[in-house]
Structure 1
Amino acid sequence: MKTIVVVGDVLLDTDISGSARRLSPDAPVPVVDVDDVGRRAGGAGLVARLLERDGRRVHLVTVLSDDDASGQLRTALAGIPLTCGPSEAPTPVKTRIRAGTHAVVRFDQGCSPAPVPAVTAQMLSVVAAADAVVVADYGRGLTANPALRDLLGTLARRIPVVWDPHPAGADPVPGVAAVTPNLAEALSAAGEAPGGVPAALRAAEKLLTRWQSQSVVLTMGAHGALALPAAGLAQILPAPKISAEDTCGAGDRFAASLTVRLLDGDGLETAAEAAVQAAASFLAAGGVAGLEAEDPLQMFVSGTPDAMATAARVRERGGTVVATGGCFDLLHAGHARTLLAARGLGDCLIVCLNSDDSVRRLKGEQRPIIGAEDRAELLQSLECVDGVLVFEEDTPAAVLERLRPDIWVKGGDYREDQLPEAALIRSWGGETVTVPFHPARSTTALASALAKVG
């Protein structure tokens, strides 16, 4: 198995979580009753942990102090091969106080500028043997070390090197496969004012020239990413629609996934598109808070994050989960009206979609006209749809049992005796409702009309 070496700065992330139900008598601030204190490796340590969870062979190269926080970091990095030199600065510690799912405050310790650390011969030896490198720069000086920079510049000519930069860090070495700033970092580094995609593109072009990299892949949060190769046109890679309260770690997930795909031989466009999907899936599964989950987020179809996670987050906030179902073969105005009406009944809409085999059993061998993956992607692209679940059975009963929506919606051409799932919905206190049916708008009619025009 090939080895990915993560080079960069590590920090200790601490989450103090609890509930807040009252204000302090001393000041108008919430009192958080602490339920849990969690510690994990951040920065390059998080990148290494993500790659390790992906089943990749990973080695972390960094510097550590000899303080208590570094001891906690070593514990948090258990199971990951680690080669480190001495740090001449305290371990950075970032502590977040959380009430429920909301961050109340964050305070930082040991995050003042640090001197450029020395690198050991063993550190350089591990990096030199890498099959791919992720540079996770968090502005602590390691990436400015001349010996390390020389080695990374040499490696960039023969293996994928992905550089995740930091505003306080050193510039990437020339020739790296990709540099992955976020939008704010790129605009600031290029001296561009915010201005949508045109400003992002101008920033990427300036940075590509300045850094002399093979590409700049600019991450834009909910808007996906902009990939600009040294030779070729820029490409916008949209992100799937998700709901995420905590975006911490999304950039690390993106850089790690991009490196994996480049190492596996994908081109820039394919690798960046996969990295966008991976970052979205990471956030849909709860971000860094979901790292301790036993099972990683499953992707039901390409580009469709787990609808179950979306529904769970809505429930945690006390919201209403709405679901509807059907084949949705050849989307038409009747479908759009039903979906819009359903979404208006709650706080998220999950579509239960018949698989291709299920559609064939219900509609005949000539159907579906469009495969399940494309049908799901079309549905997911609609603003009113928050998630898609594909089911194999003839009825949605099994998937509804898993999802347990508060409201189940069907078109008004159905009667209750034609909806056997209505009794199932009632069993957990849910409701089944219909929305107006729009005659003369159907997939069958649309397919017939298309056949007439060849």
Structure 2
Amino acid sequence: MTAGGAVVVVGDVLLDEDIDGVASRLAPDAPAPVVDVTGDRCRPGGAGLAAALAARCGREVVLVTALGDDPASDAVRRALRGRVRLVELPLSGTLPVKTRVLASGRPLVRIDRGGGTPGEPDGAVPDALAQAHAVLVADYGRHTARAVREHLAAVARRTPLVWDPHPRGGAPVPGVRMVTPNAAEARALVAGDGDSLRAHARRGTELAERWQAATVAVTLGERGVLLARPGGTTPMLVPVPYRAEGDPCGAGDCFAAAATAALADGALPEEAVQRAVAEAAAFVAAGGAGNPALWDAPVTPRSVPAPQKDPFALAEEVRARGGTVVATGGCFDILHAGHVGLLESARRTGDCLIVCVNSDASLARRKGPGRPLNHLADRIRVLAALGSVDAVAVFEEDTPVELLGRLRPDVWVKGGDYSVEELPEAEALRSWGGQAVLLPYLDGRSTTLLARRAARAAAAPEGTGP
């Protein structure tokens, strides 16, 4: 069974090749590194990558592209078999091949070879477009979009169409739902300097008006995506959910594919951008287009939670370098100023802070009916977003003693509304030489008091509440 509405991807497919190796010396005849090859791999790039990403959750995807009789075209067909349905245009020439040479994971040089000209489409192209819930044009400047432009102009009037542009490609057809240039492409298309959000917003608005597009999503890398509309309305900035450390190759294709899939499911452009930013961040964090798992498993889960640091690995790492592991715990049902002050103070006592948080069931047993007010996933997300928190660990029991036995922190911190003698964790800490300490707590702040105050305000007659 497919997941979500059908998507058609139209555009230029490339064959991407990565040659991995290690460079530890220079060539004797030139100041150039010598790469000892450890492996190489090939995969579809361009529109082929975008189509594969759109199909990851079992969605029906049709790829309209130009392929020939050359070995690179055959490699693309093999890689995409069982993932997407191909509608082929004839290709005069050979499929482009982009080869990256990497040393210890870092690109040294890229070699481009091959290239051809797409032929005329047959009746299979308009038939495929007629069945689409959304269409993505992945334009890499090699003229597939130009060959089917007439059909794309017709479909844009009735179906959400996303256009991922290229400096050497043509302008999007009028009426597209979203165009997705990156910051460099937008600067090349609109005169003017500056890397401020104001400058990007101006470019996005001007491009939306020039292209007669409903929206333009300017991708800004680690800063997120700026969504602009014609007419100079206030743009929407969607920040990345976390800093993704990984290979950014293919991130733009992932963003465009995810946005198209969201539109196929009936999302608004603003909703589509939020989903696409999250999926692109997860894609980069997992290794980008070079991640072998991307091609080993055609179907992956839709959820894209931020990658959390493993608390146990973090504790071992800090201990190994002679640092001090600090831990604290609680329900954190409503994060308030008292919590924030405690966490900031706790972090300053050592080299990392791991927060042990009650599961929903554990919290409900402790606090009674109506709790938690915020479920575990939301509590973890809020805690992990704090600069003072390095990792979060969850415990199901009534106390975190068992969890602490696995973490073995050097310091266990609690707020000053306890005494050390009352802490069930204190004895466990002593067994491995750790120390339980109390920190001053901000008076008058507690989740229970805040919940009671909110309940009184909600029950008060209009105009009489605080």
Query: Fold match, TM over 0.5?
Result: yes
- Check whether the contact 1:45–1:60 (CA below 8 A) recurs between aligned residues: yes
Secondary structure of the structure 2 residue equivalent to 1:88:
strand
Over 3 Å counting, the alpha-carbon distance change for 1:200 and 1:35 in structure 2 is same
Name the residue aligned to 2:460: none
Question: Which of the pair has more CA radius of gyration?
Answer: 2
Moved more, 64-73 or 307-316: 307-316
Give CA deviations for 1:15-52 in whole Å, capped at 9, x if unaligned: 222445x3236366655443321111111101111122
Q: How far did 1:304 drift?
A: 4.0
Name the residue aligned to 1:47: 50
Query: 1:379-418 alignment to 2 at 5 Å?
Result: 379-385=383-389, 392-394=396-398, 410-411=412-413, 418=425
Over 3 Å counting, the alpha-carbon distance change for 1:419 and 1:109 in structure 2 is farther
Secondary structure of the structure 1 residue equivalent to 2:254:
helix
Q: How far did 1:160 drift?
A: 1.1
Selected match of 1:447 from 445, 450, 464 = 450
Over 3 Å counting, the alpha-carbon distance change for 1:107 and 1:344 in structure 2 is farther
Aligned-partner Cα distance in 2 for 1:152–1:131: 14
Secondary structure of the structure 1 residue equivalent to 2:94:
coil
Aligned-partner Cα distance in 2 for 1:262–1:418: 51
Over 3 Å counting, the alpha-carbon distance change for 1:190 and 1:67 in structure 2 is same
Name the residue aligned to 1:57: 60
Query: 1:116-127 alignment to 2 at 5 Å?
Result: 117-127=119-129
Over 3 Å counting, the alpha-carbon distance change for 1:354 and 1:185 in structure 2 is farther
Q: How far did 1:369 drift?
A: 4.2
Q: How far did 1:398 drift?
A: 8.5
Name the residue aligned to 2:106: 103
Secondary structure of the structure 2 residue equivalent to 1:307:
coil
Name the residue aligned to 1:92: 96
Aligned-partner Cα distance in 1 for 2:119–2:359: 56
Moved more, 128-137 or 281-290: 281-290
Secondary structure of the structure 1 residue equivalent to 2:246:
coil
Secondary structure of the structure 2 residue equivalent to 1:17:
strand
Selected match of 1:138 from 137, 140, 143 = 140
Moved more, 183-192 or 327-336: 327-336
Selected match of 1:13 from 5, 16, 19 = 16
1:23 aligns with 2:25: yes
Aligned-partner Cα distance in 2 for 1:196–1:342: 34
- Partner AA of 1:131 in structure 2: H
Aligned-partner Cα distance in 1 for 2:343–2:327: 9
Q: How far did 1:205 drift?
A: 0.6
Query: 1:97-246 alignment to 2 at 5 Å?
Result: 97-100=101-104, 102-110=105-113, 115=117, 117-145=119-147, 148-230=148-230, 233-246=234-247
Gap regions ≥5 residues in structure 2: 458-465
Over 3 Å counting, the alpha-carbon distance change for 1:105 and 1:444 in structure 2 is same
Q: How far did 1:12 drift?
A: 1.1
Name the residue aligned to 1:342: 347
Over 3 Å counting, the alpha-carbon distance change for 1:169 and 1:123 in structure 2 is same
- Check whether the contact 2:315–2:409 (CA below 8 A) recurs between aligned residues: no
Q: How far did 1:438 drift?
A: 2.5
Aligned-partner Cα distance in 2 for 1:65–1:312: 49
Over 3 Å counting, the alpha-carbon distance change for 1:381 and 1:83 in structure 2 is same
Q: How far did 1:245 drift?
A: 2.5
Moved more, 325-334 or 7-16: 325-334
- Partner AA of 2:240 in structure 1: A
Name the residue aligned to 2:462: none
Q: How far did 1:85 drift?
A: 1.8
Q: Which has the higher contact order (CA 8 A, sep 6+)?
A: 2
Q: How far did 1:7 drift?
A: 0.5
- Check whether the contact 2:15–2:43 (CA below 8 A) recurs between aligned residues: yes
Number of matched residues? 438
Give CA deviations for 1:149-179 in whole Å, capped at 9, x if unaligned: 1111111111111111111111100001111
1:329 aligns with 2:333: yes
Name the residue aligned to 1:365: 369
Aligned-partner Cα distance in 1 for 2:99–2:311: 27
Sequence identity (%): 41
Aligned-partner Cα distance in 1 for 2:14–2:288: 17
Moved more, 78-87 or 103-112: 103-112
Aligned-partner Cα distance in 2 for 1:261–1:366: 34
Aligned-partner Cα distance in 1 for 2:110–2:170: 25
Gap regions ≥5 residues in structure 1: none
- Check whether the contact 2:347–2:389 (CA below 8 A) recurs between aligned residues: no
- Check whether the contact 2:180–2:217 (CA below 8 A) recurs between aligned residues: yes
Aligned-partner Cα distance in 1 for 2:375–2:86: 46
Output the TM-score relative to the length of structure 2.
0.79
Selected match of 1:78 from 77, 81, 106 = 81
- Check whether the contact 1:65–1:90 (CA below 8 A) recurs between aligned residues: yes
Over 3 Å counting, the alpha-carbon distance change for 1:133 and 1:388 in structure 2 is farther
- Check whether the contact 2:412–2:429 (CA below 8 A) recurs between aligned residues: no
Aligned-partner Cα distance in 2 for 1:157–1:81: 24
Q: How far did 1:275 drift?
A: 1.4
